[in-house]
Structure 1
């Protein structure tokens, strides 16, 4: 089938470059009907088409500037680039001008009964070659900047710039179970970053800790190609990655027990643009920016929520520092080298009882590649100052004040002391229920034991003083003066016997000794505690 086209609105000018206006003919064929559209740069006259059943004026939908951009990004001089193809080949199309004829042949590439080809006279197209590699041709004839292709914003009127936006090209021979080969001599490098976003649970009694984290892993796979990468990494998200190799890990606590993983959101695979694209490949049907897998990185963002067993050492509790460590192992890769970029805590550091003070990580590239993470805590002992130390000191002071009661009021003295001892014992029991039971004494246990012992000694001394007082009373002698019956009766006089008054001496000594003993104990106790805090 042939079509002869003549009657251009302006002459070509003998085919001399730069002298003729831009002449563009766009052919569209669908089924049997042939539609031809024509645009002349200098004339708005409708051309005279011979043997054409139907026609439309192209500049009703595209301006001259847009048409020039369309010409610039579509092809090279003397070349016809088909955009939509016919399932049965068309050949022998002949374009004729006043002084130039042009033949084109369209191959069968199969795009469902539609042909949309652009024919451009070489004279003008040569001037537009410099911008052709930087633009993308839309299906409707519009041209947009190549870096707007697949940027998640429709720039073409028909939204064709956001169609078929595949980030990764996986070859047919790709094997998912095989570790990617290294980009240079040695092993495949995996770059790790771990962000601990929160401490979900800190169970001191159960020796468990719950963590929410984001694991970030970077590597290169030279077997892959990437398309239309943007500078913003989150614009290069891989929607489906079930056909490519992804590193997989399992987590163990420092005691060797496996971590309990909770269900989290699925991981996100991104591609980071680290290197410019390859030169434009004109043999491709669609114009894409192609990037090498050897120079651009795959980045895996994996949310993780785990519960770990941790070994807490509570000898210095509540002035203790704790640490919990866990290990990541790679189980689906060989000849892999780990590089730890960073381990950081980004959540709120102050927990209910402890505070996060630091994190660290160590890489082990031995037989099994792994990296261990340590998170450190310090006890916020201010709670125990207000809820354990001060109340217990007050109870001891109350017990001590019984030395200032009257020696004859033994019942009140002993009742106050016993009540103080009972309350102090109850306070110790309440505190012990909120911390683990250990075979060794903790600092908090030493505190309560010392104060309870001090209360007990006060009660013992009170009992001794009362016993001495009663003994002294039994040795008192009643002396009566002898007088005549006519004399006035003299009063009775109590005269102490030698050795009386010991109970008062013991009471006075106790008033001095017990405060000194308590102060010395407190100084030694907090000196030891502060030394642990400093270390």
Structure 2
């Protein structure tokens, strides 16, 4: 046994609680301080040792700074050392700090964990702790033997304090903090062995404590709840408190639980408050496998009453622990299967002391926001990390008793009695964990009913209504992770602040820099390219992206399509006007509109003033993304001179209306335009798409801003005619007809009828072809390439017919016709023979029929070849 000093045991923040050392301290250049401490609550500065002289109030101090989680050692006016270490509350911590000012080094050991470093002095001389001063434990001196501040004090227990005039080696320091039997052999200058003779105790409690209790390394605890609950209600309570239903893993743990429940029952339950002595264990039976499980794993140890666990049935698949009934001598805490709807006491197991957070308090509230649950008599209580406490008051204390009066839970600050909050119990098993409505009295935050939530979930976790904790990123991700579905409730991704004006764009960050609206167009398909009516129809998705720093977003996912804003009229939306050639208004049919938020940043630090956990993001760092799926019909000026070898350029202008370009500007994103649909249409192929901001040609649709100073962009689409169809359906057949007509020059000259009929038939067919093709293509006042082709073909055929006629005329002109008359007895018979060449020599001719025919055979192909070469070069050039 050894003495333990309890500071501020009543919970009051005070400056008059301390131990004052009655002896003197020598000059020191080496010092080691070892002690065992248990914090009940934190203060701004928690002093272990405060040594002051007349000249210096901080001649030598060892304190713990709670906000920064650092141990601070300072001495001699110019030596300062801070070591990062997180010291838990409500559990014993053994630690040593050793400082050697001669060589400038230090060591800090906490529960066997070693940290060490270098001590430096600004003066260059060897620092020395001056003796003859006042040493105070539990309070920090801001003046010699005074200047105490209640917020610089120790609330907790201190045991086995030892101060050595030397620099202990690492082995001794670790041995002390691990409570090993060898411990420290070096004699200490100051210690608690003669605490009543060596110290003046001022408003502290001194008791005896077992070293084994102080040195118990196991931080796990079992907490008993006296109320009667079903198995499921017990599970929820334990989960919401940050633990789970207890279940011994071996015979030793089973006996320890039995002793705990026995002591608890003898102290409290035998007083008539509760008559049953059974507790739910976290063991549950699986009827399909006929195995008992704990945390979904088969148990390795059990202590069932003989013959009771052979068969698991659905009505008795939970397990009771009989804490105070011993049916067989030497058997402690027997187990028995029981219907899960039966009501028994609760034993929650915690692997470590859990910190519960209180959410929903106003920012200026005087209440603590973090609490630890500890056993305190019949009911557990919740101790705030610094000043507050939550305790349960029975019905008789809270007012006149009635059948519906179950008492209250009360939050108090003993140092500020006017600050308090009350939770009236609606049932005898209600605890302040979870979501509850409190009546709060706080001068800083007002008085009235306030919803507060106490949760055991850690940072970056979400508290399900049933106490389950899940990763905060799993909230509102369209997947149910809480068994009660609460993670998919209240999933609004945006809530515009009060005073938000959705008719006005965000304010510019810089006076001369407009707000950028990212623009991207995805072409799904070109539905129609109507050459006859000079318009085109396309199916597009217009994407606009912008930041709105006036907004805040909640629980955003990286999968941006989940972050859909349900009511887009709540926020400012850029309005685009779609224009065709000549500043004409396009016909727009909107198919679908979606507004979502693209997560680009990490969330803001958690704000516990918000009742329900949720990640909060700023509008200045995360994009609003608007997608409009629409069908657009717009005017396009086609140039058909090169038809059907033409290339057409159509454009769709987009202008931001209702806002000047000085304030908002459209900026292309990712090239501005992409195509996901088919490039090939019936007659044209889309060969290029781009976003332009200047006029490229007089023949293309321009950027349209004649109405005012509005920002805009133009989407240009370039189409190439799929002329293969016309080549095979028009050009090749007509060319064949021309060739056939040309072949008449190879017919015998005497076969005029055949020659002229072929020529005329070809001309007639060509004219019919021209008429049919002309009716199926756009009519223009100017000639198109296809028209020129038909003109060539018809003229060629006409010339063939004319040439054949000329040849025949020449043929007939230079032929002789003979007539024979036969007379017989007064009767005469006339025989005429035509087309028989004269046997007499003719005059010399300038041009013969054969010569014209031969010339036609040569000239016509040459002219056709020259025309085709020129025609093809023009067609390919376009």
TM-score interval, normalised by the smaller of the two chains: 0.7 to 0.9
1:338 partnered with 2:666: yes
Structure number with bigger Rg: 2
Alignment of 1:108-123 (within 5 A): 116-118=431-433
1:467 partnered with 2:813: no
Alignment of 1:3-402 (within 5 A): 16-17=90-91, 21-22=220-221, 48=265, 51=273, 57=280, 59=282, 71=354, 74=357, 77-78=370-371, 93-94=392-393, 104=411, 107=421, 116-118=431-433, 132-185=458-511, 186-265=513-592, 267-334=593-660, 335-341=663-669, 342-363=672-693, 367-402=709-744
Please give the secondary structure, in 2, of the residue aligned with 1:392: helix
C-alpha displacement of 1:305:
0.8
CA contact 1:278–1:290 (8 Å) conserved in 2? yes
Please give the secondary structure, in 2, of the residue aligned with 1:276: coil
CA contact 1:24–1:118 (8 Å) conserved in 2? no
User: Which one is further off, 64-73 or 231-240?
Assistant: 64-73
Q: Which has the higher strand share?
A: 2
Sort the Cα spacing of 1:37 and 1:141 in 2 relative to 1 into closer, same or farther, 3 A: closer
Which deviations, in whole Å up to 9, do the C-alpha atoms of 1:23-62 show, x marking residues without a partner? 55789999xxx99957568666666465469998584799
User: Which one is further off, 65-74 or 268-277?
Assistant: 65-74
CA contact 2:637–2:650 (8 Å) conserved in 1? yes
What stretches of structure 1 move > 6 A for 4+ residues in a row? 25-30, 52-56, 64-70, 108-114
The residue aligned with 1:498 is: 843
Sort the Cα spacing of 1:79 and 1:372 in 2 relative to 1 into closer, same or farther, 3 A: farther
Q: Following the alignment from structure 1 to structure 2, what is the Cα–Cα distance between the partners of residues 247 and 166?
A: 22
1:521 equivalent among 867, 871, 878:
867
CA contact 2:221–2:350 (8 Å) conserved in 1? no
Q: Following the alignment from structure 2 to structure 1, what is the Cα–Cα distance between the partners of residues 545 and 598?
A: 9
Sort the Cα spacing of 1:111 and 1:380 in 2 relative to 1 into closer, same or farther, 3 A: farther
C-alpha displacement of 1:182:
3.0
Please give the secondary structure, in 2, of the residue aligned with 1:132: coil
Q: Following the alignment from structure 2 to structure 1, what is the Cα–Cα distance between the partners of residues 863 and 749?
A: 23
Q: Which runs of 5+ in 1 are unaligned?
A: 1-12, 81-90, 96-101, 120-128, 480-491
CA contact 1:69–1:143 (8 Å) conserved in 2? no
Q: Following the alignment from structure 1 to structure 2, what is the Cα–Cα distance between the partners of residues 173 and 138?
A: 32
Q: Following the alignment from structure 2 to structure 1, what is the Cα–Cα distance between the partners of residues 523 and 480?
A: 37
Which deviations, in whole Å up to 9, do the C-alpha atoms of 1:250-298 show, x marking residues without a partner? 2110222111122412x11111111111111122211111111111111
C-alpha displacement of 1:406:
2.1
CA contact 1:73–1:133 (8 Å) conserved in 2? no
1:447 equivalent among 771, 789, 793:
789
Q: Which has the higher helix share?
A: 1
Q: Following the alignment from structure 1 to structure 2, what is the Cα–Cα distance between the partners of residues 66 and 445?
A: 94
The count of corresponding residues between Structure 1 and Structure 2 is 479
Please give the secondary structure, in 2, of the residue aligned with 1:237: coil
C-alpha displacement of 1:362:
2.8
CA contact 2:523–2:541 (8 Å) conserved in 1? yes
TM-score for both structures, normalised by structure 2: 0.50
Sort the Cα spacing of 1:111 and 1:226 in 2 relative to 1 into closer, same or farther, 3 A: farther
TM-score for both structures, normalised by structure 1: 0.79
Q: Which runs of 5+ in 2 are unaligned?
A: 1-37, 41-89, 93-215, 239-244, 248-252, 285-293, 296-346, 359-368, 374-389, 395-408, 413-419, 435-454, 694-702, 821-835
Q: Following the alignment from structure 1 to structure 2, what is the Cα–Cα distance between the partners of residues 354 and 236?
A: 39
C-alpha displacement of 1:531:
2.5
Please give the secondary structure, in 1, of the residue aligned with 2:549: coil
C-alpha displacement of 1:528:
2.2
Q: Following the alignment from structure 1 to structure 2, what is the Cα–Cα distance between the partners of residues 60 and 210?
A: 68
CA contact 1:182–1:189 (8 Å) conserved in 2? no
Higher relative contact order (CA 8 A, sep 6+): 1
The residue aligned with 1:86 is: none
Alignment of 1:407-422 (within 5 A): 407-422=749-764
Q: Following the alignment from structure 1 to structure 2, what is the Cα–Cα distance between the partners of residues 27 and 309?
A: 81
Sort the Cα spacing of 1:514 and 1:93 in 2 relative to 1 into closer, same or farther, 3 A: same
Sort the Cα spacing of 1:458 and 1:25 in 2 relative to 1 into closer, same or farther, 3 A: farther
**RMSD, aligned CA:** 3.8
1:432 partnered with 2:774: yes
